[in-house]
Amino acid sequence: MEAGFTYFDTAYVYTGSEAATKKALVERYPRKSFTLATKLNAMMMAPNEKAAKNQFYTSLERTGAGYFDYYLLHAMMEGGYTKYDKFRLWDFVNEQKAKGLVKHMGFSFHAGPQLLDKLLRKHPEVDFVQLQINYVDWENPSVAARANYEVAREHGKSIVVMEPVKGGSLANPPAAVKKLFNEYHPDMSYASWAVRFVASLDGIITVLSGMSNIDQMEDNLSYMKKFQPLNEEEQKIIQQAQRILGNSSTIPCTACHYCTEGCPKHIPIPEIFTAMNKQLGNGQMAEAVSDYQKVNVSGGLASECIDCKQCEHVCPQHLGITGYLKQCADKLEK
């Protein structure tokens, strides 16, 4: 707050987050000194229209914010977006906007440009969209970051960026990418390359950073307080990194944990993939096996997957999770 960074993002489904927002933010600072975003999730958490709409009132109560500066329909994707129409939630949020309880209406999105274009044509009243954009997913066909960005801008929509560091993985990229960045600027953090890449795009409201500690916050402040867009040489370096990562075999998991909530075998899928990526990205097999053993102390081996694919149905990245689990079992359980 003292540094001038005043946009805070939470959601109804982020356990404990809205209550923490009330305690850490709303009760400590004047309401007009910050902007607050939260989200309504019909796909995962709403069996009917009444339950979906009640999320809004629950979020107001949990946060104590009085109103939301940015309110999003959460995680639009193929197979789930129709519930927002069925429960008349677009109109509902517009009604809250008319009452002054919502300042800006938007949605977060995890699908392709065709669906994004369809939604923005059907709902021109939307003020902004929240998109997954980072330099490694810029041309990734399963994420379509560039294509989605271009669709949003063609519709004149501003953008909030999520996953700029891809679940933290771009803060520790493969060795070849580290070498590339270090040779240009050895004092610049790897995360800074990722955040500055998306912050340099036109039409960006803010870049969400899932900071886990004070050091990460201070790193972000060091290069964003007096932000300088990537220069031409830095853009070329990012393009080289994209080419390197385009041939990477790492598992592109962002550790959102949507996959784990309904797993009948309680497999810690994101943690297993993080361990596996130490081998896939940096050749660190011993470290990968060690990390894998640590996350499976109480069970949930990759080999225990029963191939029910519930995880794949809710994955925002559309990953072939069961196939990746077989790969992890083969490599890490021998």
Q: Walk along the chain (334 residues) and give the pLDDT tens digit of each residue.
A: 999 999 999 999 999 999 999 999 999 999 999 999 999 999 888 999 999 999 999 999 999 999 999 999 999 999 889 999 999 999 999 999 999 999 999 999 999 999 999 999 999 999 999 999 999 999 898 899 999 999 999 999 999 999 999 999 999 999 999 999 999 999 999 999 999 999 999 999 999 999 999 999 999 999 999 999 999 899 999 989 998 988 678 898 989 999 998 999 999 999 999 999 988 877 888 889 999 999 998 889 999 999 999 999 999 999 999 999 999 999 999 8
> For position 282, what pLDDT does the model report?
73
pTM: 0.87
Residue 76 pairs with which residues in a beta bridge? 109
User: Among residues 209, 219, 157, 225, which one has the least CA distance to residue 8?
Assistant: 209
124: left (phi over 0), alpha (psi -120 to 50) or beta: alpha
Return the pLDDT at 334.
Answer: 81
pLDDT for the residue 80: 87
Provide the pLDDT for residue 299.
85
Please tell me the predicted confidence (pLDDT) of residue 223. Answer: 96
